[in-house]
Amino acid sequence: MHDLRSAVAAGHLNINHGTPNITEQLNRLKHPDYETLVQKAARKVIRTTKKYRKKWVEKKNKSRRETPAGRRFSRTMISSASNVELVDGSDTEDSKILKWNLPLKELFRMACSFYKEKSGKAIHLSYEDNLKLVAFTQQAAHGPLDLANSPPLGMFDVIGKDRRIAWQHLGTITKLQAMEGFIDLLDRLCPLFKPYVEAIKKDREEKLRQAQLEEARRREQMESEKEQMAEQKRIEDEKNREELQRRQLQDALNQQTYHQFKEYAEKQFPGNPEQQAILIRQLQTEHYHQYMQQLQAQVASNYSHQMRTASDAQEELNGTDQQQQVGQQTDLVVSAKESSQLEYKEQCESDDESGEYAVISPANMWTKPDIKLFKQEVTSGKGDGVIRVGHGDTVTVRVPTHEGGSCLFWEFATDSYDIGFGVYFEWGKPPTTEVSVHISESDEDDDTLEDDDSVACVDDLECGGQQGQQQQHKQYSSGASSSLANRNPISIIVPIYRRECQTEVYAGSHAYPGEGTYLLKFDNSYSLWRSKTLYYKVFYTR
């Protein structure tokens, strides 16, 4: 020890505080007590450092309290605390506390994120301001500072001690008050913070609006899909119902005409059940389509007749009182019903005392594609089925009913050009059972009830218009009214209408309505220059 003191006194060993080379000096002296000396020197350095550190902190705190910045910090803390007390004074839940129309905690998280991202980049704060902001975050996260439970700080941790001092100055304000203080301080220090929050709010509102629009659009789409599905289901149900009704109607018609078509098919294809079944199905299909066309035409005619009757009645009822209008409308409805019931009988041209004759049922007509085979069959016979119909002429084939028959069938075709065709029925016992053919330029010479101009209708038979049929009907009606005294009544089964029989075979059948003679008329009166070659067959079934 004496040697050590001597070394110190001699200046070989320096033990002043803060000297970093004591160990090296001792090692250099190679003294046996150098470790004890080092410990004493270290303790002296620590005591000196603590002393100077304590004085420096006290001086700094005193200067901070006396500066304008320190006074502003105190006022900010007081005002922030008072504002937060107003918000937090209610008993509502923390999630319902709002600031700037946003939840306080959410706004605090946005402020912390902004401070973390922009500090040192878009914003530059002083050391004191950063200490205040950090203190607010510590208070908001952990509450008031508890020195007893706080971990010890390092000897040289000056920044940590400053943060604890700033945290301790916040006192006992609540976490929500600390959050609001942080937000207010950051807003005052950084003018960009509030626009940043407003931009986030607008972005969220826009996203919320888009989500609501998308949800409304999705609901509308779902409702539209439901409506489409319901409409589609309704249409399918309607189609199924119509298809069921169609099948029921077709089955009923097929049952009525099966035996009739079967007899005809057996004559056409004897000993060939497959071809007979095919022909029966074709005939039944054609019969169903013709029946539906006739039914639609009849419904349309009745509707138009009723509409005309109603319009005429409305005109007649103008100027009368309500009681007279009701009575006249009732009479008109009754007369319309009676006229609709007698409409078909009027078309049959039966006289007032023709109750002994049955009502004519509609004929069945169809077409066959094998026109060449049909012409060969007709030509290979005796030749009675081939007739040359001159231009302007009308050929009437008279076919009496047979005692053993129940239905008449006919088939016909022409070469190159069409021809008019119709079927009438003359009531009364036929004078002969032979089929006869009459050719004339006028139907009057052929024991019909038409005038010379009847075949040249107003619309021209080339057009096949409805007015032509109506004109023929009127002419037959006028002829019938002038000749009923001396002639048998004649009923129209099929009106004369141009048929495209040069491309396919036209065929038809009609059940005997009673005793009489069928008049099959082939009309070429509309053609001024062309003659037609007619191929036809007529026969009956039992």
Q: Can you give the pLDDT at residue 499?
A: 92
Please report where in the chains the tokens 């009704």 appear, as a residue.
Answer: 245
For 106, the token pair is 């959410």
> Mean pLDDT over residues 415-441, rounded?
88
Quote the pLDDT of residue 536.
92
* Lowest mean per-residue pLDDT among 127-131, 221-225, 449-453, 520-524: 449-453
User: Contact, 420 vs 459, CB < 8 A?
Assistant: no
SS in 3 state form for 426-491?
Answer: EECCCCCCCCEEEEECCHHHHCCCCCCCCCCCCCCCCCCCHHHHHHHHHHHHHHHHHHCCCCCCEE
Does residue 65 or residue 315 have the better pLDDT? 315
Own/partner pairs for 155-159, CB < 8 Å, 24+ apart?
155/46, 155/49, 155/50, 155/53
Is-contact 53 64, C-beta < 8 A?
A: no
What pLDDT is attached to residue 488? Answer: 80
Q: Identify which of 58, 64, 13 has the alpha carbon closest to the alpha carbon of residue 40.
A: 13
Neighbours of 135 (CB within 10 A): 26
Provide the pLDDT for residue 35: 67
If pLDDT is split at 50, 70 and 90, which confidence band does 443 have?
very low
DSSP annotation string for 276-343: HHHHHHHHHHHHHHHHHHHHHHHHHHHHHHHHHHHHHHHHHHTTS-HHHHHHHHHHHHHHHHHHHHHH
More confident residue, 422 or 246: 422
Kindly indicate the confidence band of residue 449, based on its pLDDT and cuts at 50, 70 and 90. very low
Q: Position of tokens 């149900």?
A: 237
pLDDT in tens, 69-84: 444 443 433 333 333 3
Q: For residue 215, give Cα distances in angstroms to 204, 208, 212, 227.
A: 16, 10, 5, 18
Q: Which two tokens stand for residue 508?
A: 């038809």
Residue 288 has pLDDT above 60, yes or no: yes
Mean pLDDT of 182-195: 89
Angle CA 148–152–157, to nearest 5: 135
Model confidence over 94-128: pLDDT tens digits?
556 778 878 888 889 988 988 888 887 777 888 88
SS3 417: coil
What gap in Å lies between CA 453 and CA 449, rounded to an integer? 12
**Burial of 105 (C-beta count, 10 Å sphere; 0-12/13-18/19+):** middle
pLDDT of residue 504: 93
For position 96, what pLDDT does the model report? Answer: 66
CA dist., res. 472 & res. 464, Å (int): 12
The structure tokens listed for 525 are 């009166």
Q: Report in angstroms the alpha-carbon separations of 494 from 178, 459, 469, 471, 498.
A: 104, 18, 10, 15, 12
In contact, 232 and 247? CB cutoff 8 Å: no
Dihedral sign computed on CA atoms, order 135, 140, 142, 144: positive
CA distance 497 to 523: 9
Give the mean model confidence (pLDDT) for residues 210-223: 93
Indicate the DSSP class of residue 358. P
More confident site: 148 or 170: 170
CB 509 within 8 A of CB 364: yes
Q: What is the spatial order of strands in the sheet that 386-389 belongs to?
A: 364-368, 505-511, 407-414, 532-541, 386-389
Token pair for 218: 């999705």
